[in-house]
Structures are given as structure tokens and as C-alpha cells.
Amino acid sequence: MSKSNTPKQVDSRELEQAFSLFNEASAQLTGAYQELQQQVERLTGELAVANVELRRQLLEKEALSQRLSHLLSAMPAGVVVLDQQGVIIESNPAARELLGEALMGRAWVEIAARVLAQTVVPHEWDLAPVGGAVPRRVSISSSPLDAAGGQVLLIHDMTEAYKMQRELQRHQRLSAMGEMAAGLAHQLRTPLATALLYASHLKKLDLPENERIRFADKVLARLRHLEHLIQDMLSFVKGEGGGQDVVRLSSVLVDLQQVMEPQMIERGLNFSIQDDSRGTTVLGNRKALTGALLNLLENAMQACSKGGQVSLKSEIGDDGQVLIVVTDNGKGIDAATQERLFEPFYTTRTDGTGLGLAIVRGVAEAHRGSVQVKSASGCGSEFILRLPKL
């Protein structure tokens, strides 16, 4: 009896143990399921909050995009967006009005070559008429769009400002002409009176031939002085310096050497030229620039005594501008004279017109440059003409 009951007792215990393990696993599974359900509920809540925040941000960005679009359309300046290949991918109405309607998908260099002409002012361009419009002047600035190489071009219409500037310059020049009148009368009176005096001697019937020739030469010299004075005055009044020529500095220096070197040798002066412009060009009037530099060289030559040194040098400054420097080791210029040096009709020479350096300054300003003097009594002088390079 005992042998037949043993297997049944073992099976019962194993079954109880199995049920116990099953219940324990079921309880663990129920707990894990509840925990998972809680996590799902928490994540669902967090996702709902995130969706609300994303929806809010999306609405804000859409509103911002609309405002930027309206602002871009309302901007008076033209805006052109280029991709990394320089192709126009976006433009606002102002840009299309200035440059023409067919902009999208076209290369910017093609548009620029068709409608833009460079001026002497950096970053300013003359704009060819589009669709029968009047010619305009614009300034163009660029800024990077992204790391891929895109660009944003901002085009400002400078036409009215340019007209106002030209009008202001005209009024300033008319004012300068009024101030010049009194000085010019004095400048003309003296050589004219001298010429009349010499000419009156020529009427004498008993005047020896050698004296007649001498008086005639003096009359001609005074008349040439008057002609030089009037020519300088006209150059100053016209403000010579404008123009659209591409001027290579090296060739200007060669011309100056051919003109000035014989005069320097005749006066017993050492004349040297150093060209470090590296083929640089400027945009302007070649004749006016050459004339201004001739004025500086003639002044340097007249400031030196026999055996003196005059040098002409061109180089590129640290700021990227072109520097043309005329240096001499002559008598120098005191501080009081330097303050008035560029005034019209101010001169320290009895045979000077007082307009040479005024013309130099006018030419420099007309080319968007400047002229500077460094000097002291007995230490020579250095005149530096600064010009923007092309």
C-alpha cells in the first residue's frame, strides 16, 4: 500500500510547487504590466505636452515667417538671395523693380554685367534703365547666408542722395568761386599792370632794338603768367578728377619720369622713382591725376637747391589704398604755412598762382581720396596722395 501511494504524493507536491511558482510569476508579470502601463500613461502625457509646445512653436514660426515676408516685400531696399553657385533663388519686389522681373534662377554675374556699371565710389554702381525707367545709382553690400556659401545682397537706391550730393557740391563750388573773385582780381591786376607797363615802352620810337626785344620778352612772360593763372583757375573751378578711365599707376609714373627727369637734371637735382604698386589700377581721370602729381613734383623741385633730392614712390598701404608719395629734402614748410597750404590763391612764391595744391586736393577728393603733407622747416617735405584702388 505504501509503495503504491508514494508517486501520487510526489506529484501533488510538485504540482503545488508549480502552482506557487506560476502564481509568483503571474504576480510579477502583473506588477510589470502595471508599471509599464504607468510609464505609457506618463509618456503619453509628456508627448501630449510636447505636441502642444511644438504646435505653439510652429504657429509662432509661421507668424514670424509671414511678418518677415511682409517686411521683405515692404522694404524700400532691394534684397537678392544667392545660392552657393551664385544663382538667384529669392528676391523682393524692390529688387525686381530695380533689376527687372526675370531674376529667379539666373546667375547674379549675368544680371550685374547687363545692368551695372562701376563708379569711382567703392560699392556704388550706375544702374542701367529697366523698362523705360530713369538711370539710377545704387550701392550693393553682401553678407554670407550660410556655411554652404550662399549670399544675401542688399541693394540701396542712392539716386536721390547722389543728386543732393551733386547739388551740394555745385553750391559749394559756386561759393568757392565767389570767394575766389577778390583774390583773382588781385592776382590778375599785378601781372597785367606789369605787362601794360612793359608794352607802353614799346611805343617809344627811339627805343634801342635790344631794349625793345627785352621789353617784348617781359610782356610775353607776364602774359604767359596770366594764361597759366587762368588755366589753373579753370582747372580748380571745374574740379578736374572725375572720369571712368581705368588708370594703371605704373604707366603714370613712366609719363612723369619722362616729363620731370630732364628738368631735374637741368637744375642739378637727383630724381628717383620707385614703383611698388604691383600693377595696381585706379578708376578716374588720367590727365587730372598726372597734372596733380606734376604740381607736387614741380613744388618739390622748386623747394630744393642744387644737389638736392626729389623722389616719387607708389605703394599699397596697410589699409589697401594706393599711396603715391612725393618727397624732397628742400627747405621744408613751417606749421603755420601748412595750415593754409591747400587754400586757393595762397602761395609763398612770388611767381606762384596759389592754385597748384588746391587743384591737387580737388583731384584727390574727386577720386574719393585725400592728400596729406608731412614737413618741418629745414627738414624737407613729404606729400602723400591716397587713392582707392580698383
140: helix, coil or strand? strand
Q: Are residues 287 and 340 in the same domain?
A: yes
Question: Residue 138: enclosing H or E segment and its boundaries?
Answer: strand 136-144
Q: Are residues 304 and 373 in the same domain?
A: yes
Q: Are residues 60 and 82 in the same domain?
A: no
Q: Is 365 exposed, middle or buried (0-12, 13-18, 19+ CB in 10 A)?
A: middle
Q: Are residues 272 and 365 in the same domain?
A: yes
Q: Are residues 98 and 171 in the same domain?
A: no
Give the separation between CA 365 and CA 209, rounded to whole angstroms.
Answer: 51
Instruction: Identify the domain containing residue 17 by its residue range.
Output: 1-72
Q: Are residues 379 and 257 in the same domain?
A: yes
Domain end point (choices 172, 205, 238) = 238
Q: Are residues 332 and 252 in the same domain?
A: yes
**pLDDT of the chain, 390 residues: tens digit per residue:** 444 555 555 577 788 888 888 888 888 888 888 888 888 888 888 888 888 888 888 878 777 766 766 666 666 788 888 888 889 888 888 888 888 777 888 888 888 888 888 887 778 888 876 655 667 888 888 888 776 778 888 888 888 888 888 788 777 767 766 665 655 565 566 667 777 887 888 888 888 888 888 888 888 877 877 776 676 666 655 555 455 678 889 999 988 888 888 888 988 999 999 999 888 888 888 878 888 888 899 889 988 999 999 999 999 888 888 999 999 999 888 887 887 887 766 666 655 656 778 878 888 888 888 999 998 888 899 999 999 887
Which residue in 175, 294, 287 sits closest to 240, CA to CA?
287
Give the separation between CA 67 and CA 73, rounded to whole angstroms.
Answer: 10
Q: Are residues 62 and 167 in the same domain?
A: no
Domain count, the chain: 4
CATH number of the domain at 338, please. 3.30.565.10
Q: Are residues 266 and 148 in the same domain?
A: no
**Contacts for 127 with CB less than 8 Å, ≥ 6 apart:** 98, 99, 115, 116, 117, 135, 136, 137, 138
309: helix, coil or strand? strand
Give the separation between CA 220 and CA 128, rounded to whole angstroms.
Answer: 51
Q: Are residues 58 and 123 in the same domain?
A: no
